[in-house]
Amino acid sequence: QVQLVESGGGLVQPGGSLRLSCAASRSILSSTQMGWFRQAPGNQRELVATITGGGRTNYADSVKGRFTISRDNAKNTVNLQMNSLKAEDTAVYYCRWAELGYVFWGQGTQVTVSS
């Protein structure tokens, strides 16, 4: 079992920034893929960004150039820096751990972009 705890969500105006963090209860290994997903009301959960143990990143087209995912293996954390936020970024953001066929999710943190 892996417990994931997200933090950093909140209310921000359009054009603003937020930084989400996900703390894992176990060491993040080179074989661990970490990611952020989001789900808006009435929508399916969708990929935002992922990062491999080797540091290779992948982003949804809708966030490229605005969001940056990073990981700190020493602190067992993965972060999502979100800049130039838009109203359509409003959603619950979830951290995901994937390793050797096992997948764990955090409880989610709300991000609301509104003036």
Model pLDDT for residues 75-100, shown as the tens digit of each residue? 999 999 999 999 999 999 999 999 98
Q: How confident is the model at residue 74 (pLDDT cuts 50, 70, 90)?
A: confident
Mean pLDDT of 38-55: 94
pLDDT at position 97 is: 95
Q: Supply the mean pLDDT for the chain.
A: 95
Scanning 4-111, the segments in alpha helix (DSSP H) are: none
Q: How confident is the model at residue 45 (pLDDT cuts 50, 70, 90)?
A: very high
